Structures are given as structure tokens and as C-alpha cells.
Amino acid sequence: MPIIRVENLTKKFGNITAVDNISFEVEEGTIFGFLGPNGAGKTTTINILCTLLSPTSGRAFINGHDCMKESAKVRKDIGIVFQDTTLDKDLTAYENLVFHAYLYSVKKSEIKERVGDALKFVGLYERKDDLVKKYSGGMKRRLEVARGLIHRPKVLFLDEPTLGLDPQSRTNLWEFITELPEKHNVTVFMTTHYMEEAEVCKRIAIIDNGKIIAEGSPEELKKTVGGDVIYLKTTDNKKSKEEIKKVFGLEAKEKDGELYITTLRGDACIPELIRALADMVVSVRLQRPTLNDVFLKLTGKAIREEEATGMDTIKEEVRAYRRRH
């Protein structure tokens, strides 16, 4: 039985259709990625799944429970890291997690241990008594992941978990996220508009304008754009071309003095190519298709990699300032 099942889900805000008749399933114990540009409908979908919004039509189930009719059961089974942080900045990290533990009725005798373990898992144990307002963006995200795990949910939702983080914090966070299914026995449902991040997912749904336009494993999706490209520098392009045609039956093309061949399983082709061309090869490079290419092919546009959080952070700081004065 899939742990998440979504059937013909639609959500309209006035005349905007934020989510347009989507259906998908997520297998237990996997990382599922929801990939799409800003405004595609990712957050809206998460809000419906976590019972904060009712859909206009369609149904959604988590662990067999209806997200609309059995919200209390669904809430117990899920943990969420929202796109914008939902920590109490005037409490310490430790207090934030204890608050969460009480809210989810974790047994009193277990609270201390679970909170401690969660903090250690994300490497924040030493800073547990600092007020959250002193934390960096990356630390806050890690803390939120830790908090989402305290009540041992079956599904953890991560909405744009790395948005606005510096590259190092992103890598750091990814290490935790990829370990989650195994270490914490949890299914991860994450959204992102960073293509390279979606690579770690077992399955991906690409969403644009509220519709799912492709679904599959990263490998499957990348195959749809036609496979890998091998670039070759040789001492004799003409002779090499003929040789490739004779041995592999492939048409090599020339660009900027380099030959290139499009093929599936490019990595496996390279040794054979080198063997066939013997001493003529000067250099070889392999270019694999990215999910960006997939998105480009499906929609004719690239996903904009804009940093929405830059502005949000400024806004938040202005508010925090006003609040203090």
C-alpha cells in the first residue's frame, strides 16, 4: 500500500487554479520529489496533504487516512518543515523541541532522550540552549528537520528545505535528508525548484502550472531527453568518424573541432570507443542530461533559479525591527 495517495486533487483560489487535477502515489520508505518552478502549486499541495487547506475537489490519503475526514490521524502521522520557518525565535532550540514533544504527547519519560537524540542527529546538541534567533538559516532548517522527527512521523514533508541557504549548508542538510528514510524509518516528501537536488529522490513528479507533466525515477526522466552525450577530441576527426560509424553504427557530429555522439548508457560506451579508435583519442568527456534538460524539453522553458528568500528575509527583519520598537 502506498503511504501517500493523491487522487485528482484540485485547488482553486478564486479563478487561479493552483493545483490542477493531480494524482500520484508515494511508496513507503522512499524520498519523493516534487519539482517545479515558483508558483507551480507545490506548497498548496503540501498544505492540503497536511490538513491545513481543504481541496476544491479530489482526495488525498496518508497512511490510509483521509486528509479531509480524518485530519487528527493524519496529523499524528506527519512531520512538516514548511517553506518559511515556523520556529519560535524567542525560545531556545531545546525549548522549541520540547514544546513540540508536548504538543504531540510524547511520553514524558521519553521527551528528554528523544529531543537530545534529534539534536545530536542534526549536530546542534552543543547549541541547544541558544535562542533560535541567534541561529543561522542552515541551523534553523536543521533544527526544523529535527523537530519534525520528534514524534516519529511516518511521512516527513520538506517544502523547499534548502531555499536561501548557502552552498555549504545545503550540502550539509542534504546529508541528513538522504539518511532519513533508513535512520528514521520515514518517507520523505520534498519539494524543490533546484534541479540538482531532485536527483537524490527515488521518484520525481515534475509540476508546472498546477499540473504534473512527468513522473518517474530521475534516470527514467532523463532518458526521455535522449540520453548521454560523449565528446571526443581526436588526432584525426575524419578517420574517427568513419570508424565510429563502422563499429557502432552511430553518426558522430562535429562541433568546435570536437566530435560528439548521443547515446544511452554513455558511461559504458566510452571504453569500447577508446578501444575502437585506439591511439587517435586525445580526450573524452561525458555529459549526462540533467533534470533541467528534462524540464526544458517538457515545457520549453528553464526553471528559474531565483532566490525568493532574499526578499523574505529582509521583510522578516524589517518586521522584527518594528516589533522591537
Partner 1 sequence: MNRPEIFEGALFWSLFWASKKVTGVRGKAPVLRLPVEFNAIYVIVAREFKKFIRERSRLVSAIARPLVWLFFVGAGLSRLVQPVEGVSYTQFMFPGILGLTILFSSIFSSISIIWDKEFGFLKEILVAPVSRFSIVIGKALSGTVVSTIQAVIILLLFPFLGIKLGILNIIAVVILCAMVSFSISAFGIVLATFYESYESFSVIMNFIVMPMFFLSGAMYPVKLLPQVLRFVSKINPLTYGVDALKHMITPLRTGPLSPDFGLITDLGVIVFTSVAFVLLAARLFERKQ
Ligand X SMILES: Nc1ncnc2c1ncn2[C@@H]1O[C@H](COP(=O)(O)OP(=O)(O)O)[C@@H](O)[C@H]1O
Closer to partner 1 at the Cβ: 47 or 234?
A: 47
In the region spanning residues 146 to 185, those forming contacts with ligand X, defined by CB under 6 A, are: none
- Cell 498546477 locates to 210
Residue 105 sits in the site that holds partner 1 (CB under 8 A): yes
Contact 139, 85 (CB under 8 A): no
Smallest separation (angstroms) from Mg ion to the CB of 158:
11
Shortest distance (Å) from residue 158 CB to ligand X: 12
* Torsion region of 316: left, alpha or beta (phi above 0 gives left; psi -120 to 50 gives alpha): alpha
Nearest CB to partner 1, comparing residues 81 and 206: 81
Interface with ligand X: number of residues (CB under 6 A): 11
Among 33, 41, 148, 218, binds ligand X (CB under 6 A): 41
Name the H helices within 50-92: 71-77
Element (H, E) at 275: helix 266-277
88 in contact with partner 1 (CB under 8 A): yes
- Angstrom distance (rounded) from CA 157 to CA 187: 9
Q: Is 170 in the site for partner 1 (CB under 8 A)?
A: no
Report, in Å, the least distance between residue 92 CB and ligand X.
30
Phi-psi group of 14: left, alpha or beta (phi > 0 → left; psi -120 to 50 → alpha; rest → beta): left
How many angstroms separate the Cα of 84 from the Cα of each of 26, 164, 166? 24, 10, 16
Q: How far apart are CB 57 and ligand X at their closest, in Å? A: 16
Where along the sequence are the contacts to partner 1 (CB under 8 A)? 13, 50-54, 68, 71-73, 75-76, 78, 80, 82, 84-91, 95, 98-100, 102-105, 316, 319, 322-323
